[in-house]
A and B are shown apart, each in its own frame.
Chain A
């Protein structure tokens, strides 16, 4: 258990030393969300309608852009191969890395989102549900993304290939995440959607570390 948290702390430290990378994802998120009104027009009703989907898609894309960072640095300096040989289970190492990764990339996105939601004139209840849905959804995105990052480790065309692999798998999370906010805006309770997001998250936590670990072994052998 102590090793687990040491790993998380180590990755957080590495991320802190490369603060700019983390900030870049956040700035990307803000820019993408702002692009939509520019493309669609400033009409308030329209913006309110598309807001949940737009914010969620932008969060998805930002989360995805941050994924190569998960394993790339350790892969380049050989640390990753050492991790494979460590007596500590690889799936636990993956989980620790994903947790650290989510804390610096997913969590800020979730808290940034309600602020951006204000740009779209969303009611407060919707903003809260937006936050909740992203808090539940972004960890799942990081976990699923870890599989993609492991599969494409060191490949040419890496980032774009990673998106192609991972985006279809993101779709259920997107549907229920944005759906939760939309349901709130229609006056109904988002409990069902949020529960499903929670279920996805639990499934992801239980299953994806093992798959990502297997993918890492395949990439490194």
Chain B
């Protein structure tokens, strides 16, 4: 079971393992992205109402999916680290955060660029986009808090509490924002009301989503290796790694 595996996996054994996995995930990401882009641009037809502008969803939707998925995974690993005192779990959580924040930003940026030609404004206060914005604040809060605490154990644990509180609050926040949106606008402007999905469009989004997922794993593994090196720098095995790589 994954949890037991992490309980017994020490940073020392995980470091080379992650190193071997990264090329596989990077390649998978690149391939999936290439196929996804091909489908998005050359196979998916032009949309009747939105014209070519709709092709932005092939980035916007996968980015939004990843931003939420990564937050949950981050909160999960942080929680494991808090509950079982496993160092690697907490490191994994910290490794995931920047990538998650990046995808959130991409989702917001592409949302704005999609909104302008479609609805006429650079920002649309619909439920999904507003929730994405709040998610970005949650990510930034986590990054800020863990950066502000020098003691790594305290940083890990405090970050875990914050991530878990955030994760629990995400449905509450989403529900509140949905309510707020319908109360004020009558939901006529909504990015969730995407063009009725031709199946090929859905396939394009799924491919790009998978590509984003593979990329995230590769990025997080790379980053966790760096965090491991930083934290374990005084151990013998790190010395050996340095001498080997010199």
Residues of A within 8 A of B (CB): 147, 151-152, 155-157, 161, 164-165, 167-169, 171-172, 175-176, 179, 182-183, 211, 214-215, 218-219, 221
Say what secondary structure dominates the interface of chain B: helix
Say which residue of A157, A168, A182, A221 sits within 8 Å of B173 (CB atoms).
A168
Say which residue of A151, A168, A179, A219 sits within 8 Å of B138 (CB atoms).
A168
> Contact between A214 and B176 (Cβ–Cβ < 8 Å)?
no
> Contact between B176 and A172 (Cβ–Cβ < 8 Å)?
yes
Return chain A residues, CB-CB under 8 Å to B169: 168-169, 172
Interface size class of B (residues with CB under 8 A): 20 to 34
Q: A152-B145, A171-B134, A179-B183 are in contact. Are A219 and B173 (CB under 8 A)?
A: no
The CA of A155 and the CA of B147, in the complex, are separated in Å by: 11
Say which residue of B141, B161, B179 sits within 8 Å of A211 (CB atoms).
B161
Return chain B residues, CB-CB under 8 Å to A175: 176-177, 179-180
Say what secondary structure dominates the interface of chain A: helix
Residues of B within 8 A of A (CB): 134, 137-138, 140-141, 144-145, 148-149, 154, 157-158, 161-162, 165-166, 169, 172-173, 175-177, 179-180, 183
> Contact between A218 and B154 (Cβ–Cβ < 8 Å)?
yes
Return chain A residues, CB-CB under 8 Å to B154: 218-219, 221
The CA of A47 and the CA of B237, in the complex, are separated in Å by: 66
A180–chain B nearest beta-carbon distance, Å = 11
> Contact between A164 and B173 (Cβ–Cβ < 8 Å)?
no
* A168, A175, A182, most chain B CB atoms within 10 A: A168
> Contact between B177 and A171 (Cβ–Cβ < 8 Å)?
yes
Across the A-B interface, give the 3 residue pairs with the lowest CB-CB distance, nearest first. Answer: A172-B176, A168-B137, A218-B157
Q: A164-B144, A176-B176 are in contact. Are A215 and B158 (CB under 8 A)?
A: yes
Return chain A residues, CB-CB under 8 Å to B134: 168, 171
Return chain B residues, CB-CB under 8 Å to A165: 141, 144-145, 162
> Contact between A218 and B183 (Cβ–Cβ < 8 Å)?
no
A194–chain B nearest beta-carbon distance, Å = 14
Say which residue of A155, A157, A169 sits within 8 Å of B165 (CB atoms).
A169
B161–chain A nearest beta-carbon distance, Å = 5
**Can you identify 29 A-B contacts, CB atoms within 8 angstroms?**
A147-B161, A147-B165, A151-B158, A157-B148, A161-B145, A161-B148, A164-B137, A164-B140, A165-B141, A165-B144, A168-B141, A168-B166, A168-B173, A169-B165, A169-B166, A169-B169, A171-B134, A171-B173, A172-B172, A172-B176, A175-B176, A176-B179, A179-B179, A179-B180, A182-B183, A214-B161, A215-B161, A218-B157, A221-B154
B158–chain A nearest beta-carbon distance, Å = 5
Return chain B residues, CB-CB under 8 Å to A211: 161, 165
> Contact between A155 and B157 (Cβ–Cβ < 8 Å)?
no
Given contacts A152-B145, A161-B148, A171-B134, 13 further A-B contacts (CB under 8 A): A151-B162, A161-B145, A164-B140, A164-B141, A164-B144, A165-B145, A168-B137, A168-B166, A168-B173, A169-B165, A171-B173, A179-B179, A219-B158
